[in-house]
Amino acid sequence: MRVLGVSAHFHTAAAALVDNGTVVGAAAEERFTRVKHDPGFPERSIRWLLEERGLRGADLDAVVFYEQPHVKFTRVLASTLSTFPKHHRSFGSAMKRWLGDRLWTTNKLSRLLDVHPDRVGVVVHHRSHAAQAFVGSGFDESAILTLDGVGEWDTTGLGRGRISDGTLDLEILETHRYPDSLGLFYAAFTTFLGFRANSEECSTMALATFGEPKYASVVRQILKVGTDGSYRFDNSWFDFVSLGQAPFTRKLIAALGPPRVPGTPLPFESFRVPGSDTIAPTEDHQRYADIAASAQLVLEEAVLGLANRAARLTGSKRLCLSGGVALNCVATARLLHETPFEDIWIPPDPGDGGAALGAVQHVLGENGLLGPACRSIGPYLGRSYDPGPTLDMLTHMGPGSWSAYRQPGLPPAAPYTLSVERLGDDDDGLVSRVVDDLLAGRIVGWFQGGFEFGPRALGNRSLLAHPARVETALKLSTRVKARAPFRPYAFSIAEADALRAFPQWADGIPYMARWMQVVVPVSEAVHDQVRATLHIDGTTRPQVVSPADNPLYHKLLVAFGQHTGLAALLNTSFNARGEPIVSSPDEALMVFARTDLDTLVLGDAVLRKVYS
């Protein structure tokens, strides 16, 4: 059975294709359109997936959309009308969007793909999330929590999944409905703190580390978490219809003070260069951090309450999570120690993009077709590229012509010439050259295989650096990523060395550590070796890499560890500021040309800037 899954029109549009039990691929549309979190329609992702298999739309047995557009439309209609005439303008634009396009998504899929309308279906949004959370875990049975902004009406799902003989039995036991929403609650505070809702929630989480939860009593009035694990959101404090602009009321500002103006400096630093001058945060800056800490704490209380409720209602020892809130890796870390669950699984892409694959898994589960390949899914599902044409292009254009492409806002580049070396099948030679560069303090763009499906760079589209060299991390922040200094980096570590950094995991490394989904304290014994990747509180969000997960990346980590004593590397996503992670070799080359990235590895080719 060939099934194409599609998510579109809210957060991250994506498509996924399974053909006869094999996951052909999955990709977020942003990787092709280069629009971060592109919420549009994943036409290019769909085209790539069909081309990858040499298929036409008519060859598909089913196309499935990740939510019910008609039901969602009733919620949009009801929520905007309930505030009339306050939001008459946004009502007009919402109706234009919905009546012009979104309401007819299944018709559009049928037309675009030339698939009979009978073969185009929908899955309830939180059932797509539930299948996405559970099926890839490999568990035969598990409790399930789905936590997001909002689907049709539901914002939270608590349920249980079972799989036997390839058939999925998915029971949703309880739901919370709009406007009770943990995702919208956190997104609203993200907007209050001057970051973009549904995009920069990780900045709120990072800022929280610099604060104390001094406003927790106010926030607990906004999100009331019951002792039974239920929660209620009081929407007299926020106005979700204008989420993304200014969703806060006078009542909220009276209690918390004015919101932060977007783009204004936040002088907190996750790491410091010894001897450098630092600007002391003002009272207002500290207030923002304290508000972030308060929102984070109350979110954690709600997530813990729900997880413990799920444990009571299902009796399961396993928990699978999905929805955008599952990306809050400080909250998910607490699940490890403050719930009865022994195994916790989050898919590599727990958000709306991943729900495209979840919708496919749901359909296959209904038809008893969940084979082993659908039950064990890693993150490397995106398109692979041959770097050959990009390398050929280099012979026609030299670095002399690159200065015009310099990333705006970065200081001028030092003069350099370019060296290019191809290693063919000599992986050891490739790894040894990259290790030499990393030891020398160079920043390396590492581009291999298919790109990751999900928000994290996990060794196929990564920027790598020496994890102990703070000055290199500072260069990465200021001359490559142009990134806020309060946001920490993280490291990848080879499985064999993981217990030295995380001795608390002696009884077993959690699944969440495979895809950078959990924030944990790092053993002081290795602090000096990973100094540049530690957050201010001595934590990190690690990726524990096994040879099976990513053989070449694992080899690189081990080779680096032979020189430094710890097989760990600073790993951050391969992108320039405000852009999606790179997909193709051309895009990787452009970041290399526009920033102070020192070395670029494109498959077997090593490109180096040789400074004069």
Residues 420-449 that bind Fe ion (CB under 5 A): none
Scored b (16 or more CB within 10 A) or e, 162-180 reads ebeebebebebeebbebbb
Residues 308-327 that bind Fe ion (CB under 5 A): none
CB of 124 to Fe ion, least distance (A): 11
* Site stretch for Fe ion (CB under 5 A), options 97-105, 347-355, 376-384, 429-437: 347-355
- How far apart, in whole angstroms, are the C-alpha atoms of residue 243 and residue 409? 29
* Site stretch for Fe ion (CB under 5 A), options 33-41, 234-242, 350-358, 507-515: 350-358
- How far apart, in whole angstroms, are the C-alpha atoms of residue 598 and residue 87? 50
Q: In terms of Cα–Cα distance, which of 180, 295, 190 is closest to 245?
A: 190
Contacts of 555 (CB under 8 A, 6+ apart): 427, 431, 547
CB of 366 to Fe ion, least distance (A): 20
- How far apart, in whole angstroms, are the C-alpha atoms of residue 34 and residue 31? 6
CA angle centred on 146, ends 141 and 149, rounded to 5°: 175
User: Is the CB of 7 or the CB of 407 nearer to Fe ion?
Assistant: 7
Residues 173-192 that bind Fe ion (CB under 5 A): none
CB of 125 to Fe ion, least distance (A): 6
CB of 67 to Fe ion, least distance (A): 8
Residue in the shown chain whose Cβ atom is closest to Fe ion: 148
The dihedral sign for the CA sequence 599, 565, 467, 490: positive
CB of 151 to Fe ion, least distance (A): 5
* Site stretch for Fe ion (CB under 5 A), options 116-124, 346-354, 460-468, 504-512: 346-354
Contact present, 192 and 256 (Cβ < 8 Å)? yes
CB of 68 to Fe ion, least distance (A): 13
Residue 152 binds Fe ion, judged by CB under 5 A = no
Question: Which contacts (CB < 8 Å, 24+ apart) does range 477-481 have?
Answer: 478/410, 478/411, 479/410, 479/411, 479/595, 479/596, 480/443, 480/576, 480/591, 480/595, 480/596, 480/597, 481/572, 481/575, 481/576, 481/577, 481/595
User: Is the CB of 151 or the CB of 488 nearer to Fe ion?
Assistant: 151
| Size of the residue set binding Fe ion (CB under 5 A) | 2
Alpha helices in 163-232 (DSSP H): 182-192, 201-208, 216-222
Residues 534-563 that bind Fe ion (CB under 5 A): none
User: Is the CB of 202 or the CB of 482 nearer to Fe ion?
Assistant: 202
Give the pairing of strands 62-65 and 2-7: parallel
- Residue 172 three-state SS: strand
**Cα-only R_g, the chain:** 24
* Site stretch for Fe ion (CB under 5 A), options 286-294, 333-341, 345-353, 484-492: 345-353
CB of 178 to Fe ion, least distance (A): 12
- Residue 490 three-state SS: strand
CB of 149 to Fe ion, least distance (A): 6
Contact present, 208 and 171 (Cβ < 8 Å)? no
User: Is the CB of 349 or the CB of 352 nearer to Fe ion?
Assistant: 352
User: Is the CB of 11 or the CB of 535 nearer to Fe ion?
Assistant: 11
* Site stretch for Fe ion (CB under 5 A), options 37-45, 302-310, 349-357, 483-491: 349-357
Residue 352 binds Fe ion, judged by CB under 5 A = yes
CB of 361 to Fe ion, least distance (A): 15
User: Is the CB of 198 or the CB of 235 nearer to Fe ion?
Assistant: 198
Q: In terms of Cα–Cα distance, which of 346, 349, 327, 352 is closest to 66?
A: 352
CA 471 to chain centroid, in Å, comes to 27
Q: In terms of Cα–Cα distance, which of 327, 59, 383, 378 is closest to 204?
A: 327
User: Is the CB of 148 or the CB of 598 nearer to Fe ion?
Assistant: 148
* Site stretch for Fe ion (CB under 5 A), options 72-80, 352-360, 496-504, 543-551: 352-360
User: Is the CB of 362 or the CB of 383 nearer to Fe ion?
Assistant: 362
CB of 29 to Fe ion, least distance (A): 16
User: Is the CB of 156 or the CB of 540 nearer to Fe ion?
Assistant: 156
User: Is the CB of 144 or the CB of 591 nearer to Fe ion?
Assistant: 144
Phi, psi of 542 (to 5 degrees): -80, 160
* Site stretch for Fe ion (CB under 5 A), options 43-51, 235-243, 348-356, 455-463: 348-356
Tell me the C-alpha to C-alpha distance, in Å, between residue 402 and each of 284, 397, 466, 597.
Answer: 41, 8, 27, 13
User: Is the CB of 327 or the CB of 512 nearer to Fe ion?
Assistant: 327
CB of 352 to Fe ion, least distance (A): 4
Residues 473-532 that bind Fe ion (CB under 5 A): none
CB of 355 to Fe ion, least distance (A): 6
Alpha helices in 5-42 (DSSP H): 30-33
Cβ count near 602 (within 10 Å): 26
CB of 165 to Fe ion, least distance (A): 29
Q: In terms of Cα–Cα distance, which of 63, 86, 109, 287 is closest to 193?
A: 287
Residues 130-149 that bind Fe ion (CB under 5 A): 148
**Positions of E strands within 448-604:** 461-465, 490-494, 520-521, 539-540, 543-545, 568-573, 599-602
User: Is the CB of 323 or the CB of 365 nearer to Fe ion?
Assistant: 323
User: Is the CB of 293 or the CB of 360 nearer to Fe ion?
Assistant: 360
Tokens encoding 180 = 């009770």
- The residue ranges that bind Fe ion (CB under 5 A) are 148, 352
